[in-house]
Amino acid sequence: MTNVVLLGPPGAGKGTIAARVAAELDLLHLSTGDVLRDEVARGTELGQLAQGFMERGELVPDHVMLAMVRERVNGREGVLLDGFPRTLAQAEGLARFLPVHAVVYLAVRKDEVVRRLGSRRVCPSCGAVYNLVTQPPEVPGRCDRCGGGLIQRADDAPDVVARRYEVYERDSRPLVEHYARQGKLITVDGARPPDVVASDVIEALRP
Ligand code: AMP
């Protein structure tokens, strides 16, 4: 079984693409951002620890993330990691418990991700994601899937987006080079419609 890492700046479409690719290739989709948001919503110890970092657009400490991912992977194979690793230390830690076979880098320019994150809306009840410009809900402000009220993620506010992008450039971007050196990197143009991007990624990963 193949274990895949999905890299890219915030707003590159990692969550959307990961969900489609995981369904098509029968992989376990593990989004560390989704797991953390769920822990925050449930007020768990991990959620309380993570909340402040997330609200500021900073990274949750590496040892916390590594323990969280290790526990969820728990010996499984066929995993699609979305939003992890985000630092070299996380990548090195990951390599000790899960072999990474392929790394997909969704390349999207900064002006495009800033534009996308500003118009992103999410459904806090079922997790569906919309874009007011490219993928608006049928009824404004209402989730197509469950009828819940749509909100803007607190960390999609402009000042937090700017901070998340800086943190991405400083801490996460070096992973592109790191995995390229290992010969595992597949770069995909992420600035196209999600269907097109997803089918490219699926094609590249298909055995
Ligand atoms: P995301 O939904 O992937 O944009 O993640 C939302 C937030 O969760 C990030 O801005 C970080 O605060 C935190 N987070 C998610 N994944 C990681 C990770 N691998 N390492 C550190 N923090 C993370």
120 is catalytic: yes
Q: Which of 29, 34, 35, 36 to mutate to test the pocket of ligand 1 (most atoms within 8 A of CB)?
A: 36
20, 115, 153, 173: the catalytic one is 153
Number of domains in the chain: 1
Q: What pLDDT does residue 187 have?
A: 98
Per-residue model confidence as pLDDT tens digits over 96-146: 999 999 999 999 999 999 999 999 999 999 989 999 988 999 999 999 999
Q: Is residue 153 part of a domain?
A: no
Per-residue model confidence as pLDDT tens digits over 29-86: 999 999 999 999 999 999 999 999 999 999 999 999 999 999 999 999 999 999 999 9
| 131, 104 Cβ separation under 8 angstroms | no
SS3 37: helix
pTM: 0.93
Residue 57 Cα: closest atom of ligand 1: 10
Q: Is residue 129 part of a domain?
A: no
> H helices of 139-173, where?
158-167
Separation of 59 CA from ligand 1 center, angstroms?
6
Residue 1 has pLDDT above 80, yes or no: no
Give 66-132 as a DSSP string.
HHHHHHHHTT--SEEEES---SHHHHHHHHTT----EEEEEE--HHHHHHHHHTEEE-TTT--EEET
Instruction: Summarize the confidence of residues 151-170 as an average pLDDT.
Output: 95
Q: What pLDDT does residue 119 have?
A: 95
CATH number at residue 91: 3.40.50.300
Q: Is residue 149 part of a domain?
A: no
Q: Is residue 114 part of a domain?
A: no
Residue 58 Cα: closest atom of ligand 1: 12
Q: Is residue 177 part of a domain?
A: yes
Q: The domain containing residue 19 runs over which residues?
A: 4-109+161-205
Q: Is residue 64 part of a domain?
A: yes
Ligand 1 neighbourhood includes 83 CB (under 6 angstroms):
yes
Instruction: Summarize the confidence of residues 7-25 as an average pLDDT.
Output: 96
Residue 207 has pLDDT above 90, yes or no: no
Q: Is residue 23 part of a domain?
A: yes
Q: Is residue 183 part of a domain?
A: yes
Give the closest residue to 11 by CA, choosing from 51, 57, 55, 49.
57
